[in-house]
Structure 1
Amino acid sequence: MAAEGEATGKSKNRKDRRAGGDAGVVADNDGDLLADELEAIPTAIPRQGDGYRQRQNGSGGQIAYAIDAAGHALTGEDLTRINTRKGLLTLLKNKAVDLEEVRRTLLYEQELRALQVELVRFQRWVQAEGQRIAILVEGRDAAGKGGTIRRFTEHLNPRAMRVVALPKPSDEEKGQWYFQRYIRQLPNKGEIVFFDRSWYNRAVVEPVMGFCSKKDHQRFLQQVTEFEHMLYEDGVTIIRFWFSISKEEQAKRFDARRQNPLKQWKLSPVDEKAQELWDSYTRYKEEMFSKTHSAFSPWIIVQANDKQAARLESLRHVLNLLPYKGKDEAQIRLAPDPNVITRFHRKMVELDF
């Protein structure tokens, strides 16, 4: 009877707190944590990952939906419930949401924020030391280049950072030395410049699409290493990324863009031919790596089928590469995952897996 009375009393205490007591109290009158009560934590609605797709769960065949999938949006009542870990888990189970995907997205957001804090420190060091940093982001269409650049630049000071995404050359620029229009965009003292595609258009896209002659292409391959070595000798740090995705993943991302009215602008005639010309892209890409990879400016290959991993590890690579002030105090791992980030090696056979 005593035990029954004690249990009834604890149950009443829980009801009293829920009815109007202190929402932050998570212990009984003796100060012990209650087994079915978890501390209140600030929460936010997890964002749908760019690469998220509906998945079939292993048990029961239940479909897991993205948080913002049609018919599965969270209501105001749902949001009211998201005030404890227990409430969040219960809500997501009732909504048939993929808990593992939500957990992964929350961890990704947490790591991303910590790395972006380090990027702010990194930029301050670049400004203070007068460094000149050029980050070239290359890869096949829909490989996640633009999304990664956005994560790099989201919280940086725009006065000491630029993103360069040049359109096709004008008639005047066509009559100039090929590198001339890119030289104008190189970083100034204390500045970071991100190239969303760069002079390496002439190594892959232009010859594949017939936008340059075979002679233009070969001249570029002969000149580009000397051009970059002059920049290196003058103190410019060049970081070259190649985002590598599979043919199947590219097709899925193209299809997602066609269906999303906010992303349809990303599709271009060049993109539409990317699948058809896949093997041609591969041949020119491998020739580019073979003839332009160098010790002072190596090609960094990013396995990018997983967008979130590609973004995090690319940020880590840049932070790990240079000795910015405060690096030793970082509260997060800066060494990139070797399963995601690798240097090009001439014995590598398969880069776009």
Structure 2
Amino acid sequence: MTTDGPESDAKSWVEAELQDSFDEELEMEIDDERLMGDLDAIKALRHKSEIDRRLYFHELFRLQAELVKLQDWIAHTGYKLVVIFEGRDAAGKGGVIKRITQRLNPRVCRVVALPAPTEREKTQWYFQRYVPHLPAAGEMVLFDRSWYNRAGVERVMGFATPDQVEEFFHDVPEFERMLVRSGVKLIKYWFSITDQEQQLRFMMRIHDPLKQWKLSPMDLQSRIRWEDYTKVKEEMLDRTNISDAPWWIVEGDDKKRARLNCIHHLLTEVPYEDIPQEQVDLPERVFNPSYERKVLPDELYVPERY
């Protein structure tokens, strides 16, 4: 029996679109593996994921489908969600954020990654430059680093005085309680990795031209001051772990497991439900017999190199 015809063509087209979605994630996966085979020094340190690749992809796409449902529910109900991602440099925060936002509408879910404060911002109330980025109704905001810079890098590097740090610890619990009272759901993640795993990831960045931009002078200092960062992290978690907005620690040495665990936990923290979707019917295209499509000059087109 032949399978040719419109139904077969439609099935092939859907399969091709699905394959594109898999390829998008696979491209990032290959990017993680690209230099491993060439560098003996890195190969000796390499941490292999304990999760089967097929299971990883299956669960990732399943969780991303749930994130789409979460997004629809947030937009429908006017929920306000803030998710903070903190952790050591190269701990995997960016990879998780990328997988969360990969299938979502940027009008509903947006990422905030602020640069170093300007001279003017340094004179403002410390939380002031973060406030404009908080969500309105029906939005979720992911902070790739946040106001906790003051308790971490600013403290270790001497960018904040001891008095400023102490003032931060005094203010931040009440600031976060104010957010929660105003209707914001605040979730805070700390990504934890070992000394050896951070060394591996930094070496990858040093040797990979496509990732060298990720390696900043602050990253190099974080290696030198590993123990200093450990001490301030422990105090930060102890003094800012409040019932209204507790900290959640994500074990990050295994990137794949960290991504799945974090996304799964995020979904359990929000009481979202399926939102009924109106059936969408594609309207018939209107044909005008007198219309002639204009032929555009060849120089307007991008050259087809591939």
TM-score interval, normalised by the smaller of the two chains: 0.7 to 0.9
SS at structure 2 position matched to 1:172: helix
Instruction: Supply the distance in 2 between the matched residues of 1:49 and 1:249 (Cα, whole angstroms).
Output: 19
% identical equivalent positions: 48
Which residue of the partner structure matches residue 88 of structure 2? 140
1:172-211 matches, cutoff 5 A: 172-211=120-159
1:325 is displaced (CA, Å) by 0.9
1:259-274 matches, cutoff 5 A: 259-274=207-222
Aligned residues: CA RMSD: 2.4
Which residues of structure 1 form unaligned runs of 5+? Answer: 1-21, 23-41, 55-65, 71-99, 328-353
The one of the two structures with greater contact order (alpha-carbon pairs below 8 A, sep at least 6) is 2
| Higher radius of gyration, 1 or 2 | 1
Instruction: Supply the distance in 2 between the matched residues of 1:220 and 1:244 (Cα, whole angstroms).
Output: 23
Are positions 1:296 and 2:232 aligned together?
no
- Mapped contact 2:51–2:257 kept (Cα < 8 A): no
1:50 is displaced (CA, Å) by 6.4
1:39-188 matches, cutoff 5 A: 48=29, 69=37, 104-188=52-136
Are positions 1:228 and 2:169 aligned together?
no
Taking structure 2 as the reference length, what is the TM-score of the superposition?
0.75
**Cα distance change of structure 1 residues 53 and 160 upon mapping to structure 2, 3 Å threshold:** closer
- Mapped contact 1:125–1:325 kept (Cα < 8 A): yes
Which residue of the partner structure matches residue 96 of structure 1? none
SS at structure 1 position matched to 2:245: coil
- Mapped contact 1:51–1:307 kept (Cα < 8 A): no
Which residues of structure 2 form unaligned runs of 5+? Answer: 3-17, 39-47, 276-306
- Mapped contact 1:51–1:306 kept (Cα < 8 A): no
1:106 is displaced (CA, Å) by 2.5
Are positions 1:247 and 2:187 aligned together?
no
AA of the residue aligned to 1:294:
I
1:110 is displaced (CA, Å) by 1.5
Greater fraction helix = 2
Which residue of the partner structure matches residue 314 of structure 1? 262
SS at structure 2 position matched to 1:158: coil
Instruction: Supply the distance in 1 between the matched residues of 2:168 and 2:216 (Cα, whole angstroms).
Output: 25
1:52 is displaced (CA, Å) by 5.2
Deviating runs (4+, > 3 A) in structure 1? Answer: 42-54, 100-103
SS at structure 1 position matched to 2:125: coil
- Mapped contact 2:49–2:256 kept (Cα < 8 A): no
Instruction: Supply the distance in 2 between the matched residues of 1:238 and 1:101 (Cα, whole angstroms).
Output: 30
Which residue of the partner structure matches residue 296 of structure 2? none
Q: 1:98-130 CA distances to partner (integer Å, 9 max, x unpaired)?
A: xx9798222211210110000000010001110
